[in-house]
Structure 1
Amino acid sequence: LTNWLGGQGTASYGVSFEWSVEEMGVPGAVTVVNSHRSEFYLKSLTLEDVPGHGRVHFVCNSWVYPSEYYQKDRIFFSNQPYLPKQTPPSLAAHRADELENLRGTGQRRRLEEWDRVYDYDVYNDLGEPDKGADHVRPILGGTPEYPYPRRGRTGRPPSSSDPNTESRLPLYESLSIYVPRDERFSDIKMSDSVAYALKSIFQFLAPEFRALFHETPGEFDCINDVLRLYEDGIKISSGSLLDRIREKIPSETIRELLRSDGEGALKFPVPLVIQEDKTAWRSDEEFGREMLAGINPVLICRLREFPHTSKLDPEIYGDQSSRISEDHIRGSLDGMTIAEAIESNKLFILDHHDSLMPHLRRINTTATKTYATRTILYLMKDGILKPVAIELSLPAAQGDHHGAVSSVYTPAKDGIAASLWQLAKAYVAVNDSGYHQLICHW
């Protein structure tokens, strides 16, 4: 790229060279050497008029740093997938080298922004032993018996007091943790992300947040308290708090966070779903949409049996079968019977019952309380997925082997029944979030 001078913006460059298909075959990979002093983002590379083949396209979408930072030249493969046994021999060695480079060596070292290491590590950063014995935590994963959970390798230095424990970054420096450059947000996206994320940093704003919770410390008193986060924002005092934030966060982000009218308030961005109607989030249609567009859509399964049964051992947990009956959902099936709805692939289930029930008694001994949930959903004629019944279950007070104590809730629009239906949907969302964080993530 003899005319490239760096800078921002998108540009296309032409390169000509000689190639003999008869002697060398169809190009399957290209090496890129950056002899400039700055990195550049390579979106794609296209070879036109390859003899006997036509166009060969290479999808790159990668940052290429100056060659001095790499032990091997960057290589990009054509947009032609192969099974391992079908990979041309001339490409196989390059594919193996590239895979080895991406996996990394497994050694704990500082990872730089030009590294392209997608490696795993054990959870050895849960504690902070440098703060004392009370802050020591065990290492999770990495043993033959328990190889999981595992996380992405970050290259942070070890703790001073325990070389097997990786040090942790302060919350306000967490965005500088190693992530392969190709996976990082763009500058604009990162600025937006930081601006929105900072609005939830309770460590900085704990006193101001506590002022929101008048009657029930640590909880919102009513739905209007939530809406005020978007309408009025959070008043914060100037001084050391703002100084600490300004030391770590770019000024552009601070301008995004702080109002310009001098009141010193942090305002959350209003979610699109309530910009036009503050009650839109309460609808069953929105509940189904968020479930599909959310964190665990692959857990939604087609209902194959009714009533739904549990896979928990009945000798240990007793009868855990679903208490949702035909009477609960018959009126929500557009005139179909349950058998017809199942046969027509119209009924689905989000089942967190078996995952939560073995741990529920222990969870509910803490300040946090929840239920194990099952949600039956119906696919309507217009393609909208709506909940038609939610089952909330607790272990029997007499012991686990006595089975579950369950209540079933169905859609309602008025009175106490409507409030209980909203509460049931909230517990489903709690289950969904917890399952995602503790099981899907790990």
Structure 2
Amino acid sequence: MSKSHLQQSTKSLIPWSTKPFIFSREILVFFPINILSNKKPRKNQKKNNFIVHYNAANSTKAVLSSTKKSMGVKVVVKVQKSVGGTNLGLSRGLGDLLGKSLLLWIVAAELDPKTGIEKPSIRIFANRGRDMDGETQYEANFVFPEDFGDVGAILVENEHKEMYVKNIVIDGSPHGKINITCNSWVHTKFERRIFFTNKSYIPSQTPSGVKRLRERELVTLRGDGFGERKKYERIYDYDVYNDIGDPDGNDNGKRPVLGGKQLPYPRRCRTGRSRSKKDPLSELKSDFVYVPRDEEFSEVKSSTFSGNPIYSVLQAVVPALETIVSNPDLNFPQFPSIGSLFNVGIDVLRQENKKNGMFNVVPRLIKAISDTETPQSLQRDKFSWSGDVEFARQTLSGFNPYSIRLVTEWPLKSKLSPEMYGPPESAMTKELIELEIGGSMTVEEAVQQKKLFILDYHDLLLPYVNKVNELKRTVLYGSRTLFFLTHEGTLRPLAIELTRPPIDNKPQWKQAYFPSTWNATGAWLWKLAKTHVLAHDSGYHQLAKNSLCYRAIYYSNK
């Protein structure tokens, strides 16, 4: 290293001419290492300057840089603000003023090739910087040695109150900008949290310098199966449902354990609470329900949940109330009756016969709250739910966005047996669809340009139509819905086809409906056709996707 570089480096790191020490909880010492020794350098021995961190209790911690070429690097830690704007107490404010907010260790990705052990980590304090867009930035500048190599991970020690760290960015290193996505709570001095860089590796290719940290993090997340869980922990350990009853509080409070070979059941997060005195197989109940810290509600969601109690309660209570207060033969007499759910509320009366009432089990569960929260879409337009724009939007961002697919061939045909279900040709003909497109292109051109999309429940539902239609007050069709991709990048519904198979010597029935119908009856039939499609879409999601594809497969592996 040139002499000019050494002088510049010393000038930037040691701004004092007479006082080489900074006194705080840890003593940081900056001086040439040869001052520590009375020995003079041997002939031909190069003089080296070092930066040493010295701890009064633990002696020397790490050698951060040597005479080898190095460069200045900046690290920025983004911390999410609390809902109230700031959660800084007196101690935290003093920590920020003294520059002791976050303690970071920069860890090298590879081992030292000379020694075969981990390279000394770079230890720095990040000071509180500016606040912007609901975030607080903590920044630090440090010297990055040339022989340090690539960064593999960062260890974070929070010096005061728990904080939510979003991400860490290291800018200016020889390897370019390094991003580390965190999105995790860091507890107060409980542990040095490990955050790895965003680069992914398969286990066999894990960089040698972070293998030990990877193993340590895995042990932390798995836990050891002992002890009671604390709120700040991140352990993903599981247990059977053995806390359903209350044997100690009630002689009849003993309940069977759900889970295991005798009574298979999905697992819950292990809590490690004390066992019941009367039933050693059961855990004692507690007001605190353990959830891994990063899985808990965010502050925004928690405030929304508690700030809208009727909305929160109704989400869980209304389904249970259906068996008590609902009547399947009652309908909404008019459209304003639907809106009254939001601006008038639900009048839930106590049953005169409380033996069958839910309120006998959960007294005072629903308080006298008259209004529910009106959805924003209904605030803008109370009939927005019936529009074609909303219909197409819900196809992509509603209950089931996975069924819509690209049309790759024309004409549309059923693959079911014509003898059992009738002619396979669709009622949505080339001429009718081109009329809906507006003459801008032919159907063949639309298919070639990938402009046509279909939501197809025709072959899926048609075999069940006759059986379902035997039920009282129930009607089912097989359906096809065709969409056109506009130049704005949005979908526009072109046509809906509803089909019934042959029954009782009656032929197949099919009908295509279009949004461009100008007569009033046709416009209402189009709305009813969309209602059928939405019922098919949500029903398929609940039964086929949610119950069969997800839950049945997931629970079978438990």
Taking a change above 3 Å as real, the CA distance of residues 410 and 238 of structure 1, as seen in their structure-2 partners, is same
Bigger relative CO (Cα 8 Å, ≥ 6 apart): 1
Taking a change above 3 Å as real, the CA distance of residues 283 and 65 of structure 1, as seen in their structure-2 partners, is same
Taking a change above 3 Å as real, the CA distance of residues 183 and 380 of structure 1, as seen in their structure-2 partners, is same
Taking a change above 3 Å as real, the CA distance of residues 385 and 77 of structure 1, as seen in their structure-2 partners, is same
Give the Cα–Cα distance (whole angstroms) in 2 for the partners of residues 408 and 154 of structure 1.
Answer: 51
1:422 pairs with 2:542:
no
How far the C-alpha of 1:62 sits from its partner, in A, is 0.5
Taking a change above 3 Å as real, the CA distance of residues 60 and 388 of structure 1, as seen in their structure-2 partners, is same
- 1:216 corresponds, among 329, 342, 360, to 329
Give the Cα–Cα distance (whole angstroms) in 2 for the partners of residues 316 and 97 of structure 1.
Answer: 65
AA matched with 1:304: T
Q: TM-score, normalised by structure 2?
A: 0.54
- 2:156 corresponds, among 2, 8, 32, to 32
- 1:64 corresponds, among 186, 201, 214, to 186
1:185 pairs with 2:304:
no
Q: Deviations over 1:300-352 (max 9, x none)?
A: 2111122334456x499656845233144231012132212211222110123
The 8 Å contact of residues 236 and 266 in structure 1, kept in 2 or not, is answered as: no
Structure 1 equivalent of residue 490 of structure 2: 384
Structure 2 equivalent of residue 278 of structure 1: 382
How far the C-alpha of 1:290 sits from its partner, in A, is 2.4
How far the C-alpha of 1:376 sits from its partner, in A, is 0.7
Structure 2 equivalent of residue 198 of structure 1: 313
1:393 pairs with 2:499:
yes
Give the Cα–Cα distance (whole angstroms) in 1 for the partners of residues 502 and 226 of structure 2.
Answer: 48
Q: TM-score, normalised by structure 1?
A: 0.66
- 1:43 corresponds, among 153, 166, 171, to 166
Taking a change above 3 Å as real, the CA distance of residues 119 and 33 of structure 1, as seen in their structure-2 partners, is same
- 1:91 corresponds, among 205, 210, 232, to 210
AA matched with 1:227: G
AA matched with 1:390: I
The 8 Å contact of residues 121 and 151 in structure 1, kept in 2 or not, is answered as: no
Give the Cα–Cα distance (whole angstroms) in 2 for the partners of residues 372 and 108 of structure 1.
Answer: 55
Structure 2 equivalent of residue 251 of structure 1: none
How far the C-alpha of 1:296 sits from its partner, in A, is 2.8
AA matched with 1:197: S
How far the C-alpha of 1:92 sits from its partner, in A, is 4.7
Structure 2 equivalent of residue 325 of structure 1: 428
Structure 2, unpaired ranges of 5+: 1-24, 26-87, 94-133, 248-255, 260-264, 352-358, 551-558
Question: Going by fraction, where is strand more abundant, 1 or 2?
Answer: 2
Q: Deviations over 1:8-63 (max 9, x none)?
A: x85444567776441x4222201234575x5321223344554x346533221201
AA matched with 1:407: Q
Give the Cα–Cα distance (whole angstroms) in 2 for the partners of residues 47 and 111 of structure 1.
Answer: 34
AA matched with 2:372: F
Paired residue secondary structure (1:245):
coil
Give the Cα–Cα distance (whole angstroms) in 1 for the partners of residues 334 and 410 of structure 2.
Answer: 38
- 1:408 corresponds, among 493, 505, 512, to 512
The 8 Å contact of residues 236 and 269 in structure 2, kept in 1 or not, is answered as: no
Question: Going by fraction, where is helix more abundant, 1 or 2?
Answer: 1
Larger radius of gyration: 2
Q: Deviations over 1:136-184 (max 9, x none)?
A: 9x99xxxxxxxxxx98854589xx9xx9xx99x9xxx9xx876543344
Give the Cα–Cα distance (whole angstroms) in 1 for the partners of residues 433 and 381 of structure 2.
Answer: 28
RMSD: 5.3
AA matched with 2:312: A
Stretch of structure 1 that moved more, 195-204 or 374-383:
195-204
Give the Cα–Cα distance (whole angstroms) in 1 for the partners of residues 340 and 372 of structure 2.
Answer: 9
The count of residues paired between Structure 1 and Structure 2 equals 387
The 8 Å contact of residues 317 and 403 in structure 1, kept in 2 or not, is answered as: no
AA matched with 2:427: I
The 8 Å contact of residues 384 and 390 in structure 2, kept in 1 or not, is answered as: yes
How far the C-alpha of 1:234 sits from its partner, in A, is 2.5
Structure 1 equivalent of residue 338 of structure 2: 226
AA matched with 1:332: E
The 8 Å contact of residues 392 and 406 in structure 1, kept in 2 or not, is answered as: yes
